[in-house]
Copies of this chain bind each other. A is one copy, B any other.
Amino acid sequence: MADNKKMVEAITSRDVDFAQWYTDIVKKAELVDYSNVKGCMVIRPYGYAIWENMQADMDRRFKETGHENVYMPMFIPESLLQKEKDHVEGFAPECAWVTVGGSEKLAERLCVRPTSETLFCEHYSHIINTYRDLPKLYNQWCSVVRWEKTTRPFLRTSEFLWQEGHTMHETAEEAMEETLKMLKVYTDFYKETLAIPAVVGKKTEKEKFAGAEITYTIEPMMHNGVALQGGTSHYFGDGFSKNFDITFTGRDNKLHYPHQTSWGTSTRMIGALIMVHSDDDGLVLPPKIAPIQVVIVPVASHKEGVLEKAGELYNELKDKFRVKLDDSDQSPGWKFAQYEMKGVPLRLEIGPKDIEKNQCVLVRRDTREKLFVSLDNLDQTIEKLLVEIHDDMYNRALKNTEEKTHTATTYDEFLDIAKNKPGFIKAMWCGDTECENKIKEDTVGVKSRCIPFEEEHLSDTCVCCGKKAKHMVYWGKQY
């Protein structure tokens, strides 16, 4: 048990130092390694396997909604980036620039893509001619670069992996429908696959994407009450179309500009997974994306028949679940700690006494509940348990979000909550950016998260300036 203990000791408690706890998990669960390249991370096999499971699930959802994958160049010529004014202003300060190719200085600098609206638009200008060419529903899986000063694995890195959807539509209505449809795809994915609840809604003018007309966002709350922008879906109108001269002949035989959307999620979601579900013993992974769903640990494996039985169970389960049999010579205690650290949803222990009784022990990672179950119909027992684990994880996260969501109707109340109670604050807002700026300053970092689709009427006036309120806003600090 020495190794076991050492391992557990090495993790900072979540309640003592949330940031250090996060860093410890990321390292101890072998998700990432730091690299010599400033702000860039190495995603290790276990971390990448989580990403692959996320990708497969999302990619299926994208394809079911009619989207196709493409690949655009990773470089954007400076002149191309400059075609949309708001867009370039938003991204230029955080671009990495290639200035030398081979041994020659380039005539024009190339930006390593921070996002690919401009490249998609250039391509769309070549291939969209008539309304018959619409809609175009493209998505891209790739890495992007945004030069960051302070970084944290998964949450903020100079390079990260993501998907970016870019679509073109005949009408504004269709583009708006797509924008909301993809926000729903994200919300469903968070709920059904990551077991993460979230507040969804519209960003304010101040917080919207550079170049977008409207930005919708999904905002899950982390265990410590801090929000994470979990994914965004943008409605662009025809702004980029005009700047990139993308036109199509409509059903009326006249030229029109198509209407555009884009939407994206990234490896930040792994950060959300950690900060929503995990605990002082390490990762807690929802079964749908866990690289290992069930780990089989033989107990007293030197006794006759134990390894054989463990192997039998492995063969019985391996086509239905992602199962690992750990028959290495490490002690069971070491293995227990190891797979708890890695967040494996179910541990299956099998020893001589269990075999005698035709049973095994199942231990849930999320609750530590220990169940003695029959080996008959074991697959069904496990299937049911994995669903229960998912649902319980979702409900615990929902409870945490609800408990840490507060309401303020006066500015004093608002400031008091911002100072003393981590979480979301629901409060009315007049619609002016000045109030957002003042709130951010007065609270050291509370920003508007979003205007939810279903607004409550909390009071008549803006919580900050007292003028007539236009919207109810979720406010909070963010990663």
Instruction: Spot the interface stretch: A30-38, A170-178, A196-204.
Output: A30-38
A69-B49, A97-B99, A143-B142 given; A74·B43 CB < 8 A: no
* Cβ-closest chain B residue relative to A97: B100
* A42–B72 touching, CB < 8 Å: yes
Whether the pair A35, B72 counts as a contact (CB closer than 8 A) is: yes
Contacts of A149 in B (CB 8 A): 102
Contact B73 A41 (CB under 8 A): yes
Q: Which residue of chain B has its CB nearest to the CB of A144?
A: B74
**Nearest CB of chain B from residue A129's CB, rounded to whole Å:** 14
Q: Which residue of B lies closest to A43 (CB)?
A: B71
Specify the chain B residue showing the minimal Cβ separation from A69: B48
Q: From known contacts A45-B138, A97-B98, A98-B98, infer whether A145 and B74 are also in contact, taking CB-CB under 8 Å.
A: yes
| Distance between A139 CB and nearest chain B CB, rounded to angstroms | 10
Q: Closest approach, in angstroms, between the C-beta of A315 and any C-beta of chain B?
A: 16
Asked whether any CB of chain B lies closer than 8 Å to the CB of A326, the reply is no
Report whether B69 and A52 are in contact in the complex, using a CB–CB cutoff of 8 Å: yes
Number of interface residues of A (CB under 8 A): 53
Give the interface segment out of A119-127, A227-235, A403-411: A119-127
Interface-facing stretch out of A75-83, A300-308, A392-400: A75-83
Indicate if A7 sits at the interface (CB-CB under 8 A): no
**Given A123-B33, A143-B142, A159-B74, A69-B98 contact (CB < 8 Å):** no
Q: Are A99 and B102 in contact (CB under 8 A)?
A: no
A145, B40: Cα distance in complex, Å: 18
Chain B residues near A112 (CB-CB < 8 A):
74, 98, 112
**Cβ-defined contact, A143 with B37, below 8 A:** no
Nearest-Cβ distance from residue A65 to partner chain B, whole angstroms: 15
Chain B CB within 8 A of A209 CB: no
Looking across the interface, which residue of chain B has its beta carbon closest to that of A73? B40
Q: Interface readout for A145-166 with B: 1 if CB under 8 Å, 0 if not? A: 1010100000000110100000
Closest to A137 in B: B45
User: Digit string of A26-61 for contact with B (CB within 8 Å is 1, else 0)?
Assistant: 000000010111001111110011011000000000
The verdict on A70 contacting chain B, using a C-beta distance below 8 Å, is: yes
Closest to A120 in B: B42
The residue on B at minimum CB distance from A119 is: B35
Cβ of B48 and Cβ of A70 under 8 Å apart? yes
**B residues near A43, Cβ cutoff 8 Å:** 70-71
Minimum distance in angstroms from A135 CB to a CB of chain B: 13
Interface string of A62-105 (1 = CB under 8 A from B): 00000011111111110010000000000001111111111100
The CA-CA distance from A143 to B75 in the complex, in Å, is 12
Any B CB within 8 A of the CB of A110: yes
Chain B residue contacts of A161, Cβ below 8 A:
71
List of B residues within 8 angstroms of A102 by Cβ: 93-96, 147, 149
Given contacts A98-B96, A99-B100, A147-B101, contact A68 B42 (CB under 8 A): no
- Report whether B68 and A123 are in contact in the complex, using a CB–CB cutoff of 8 Å: no
CB nearest neighbor in B for A41: B73
Give 23 CB contacts A-B under 8 Å. Answer: A33-B127, A35-B73, A36-B80, A36-B122, A37-B73, A37-B119, A40-B74, A42-B71, A43-B70, A44-B70, A45-B68, A45-B138, A52-B69, A74-B145, A74-B159, A75-B96, A93-B102, A95-B101, A97-B98, A98-B98, A98-B99, A100-B109, A102-B147
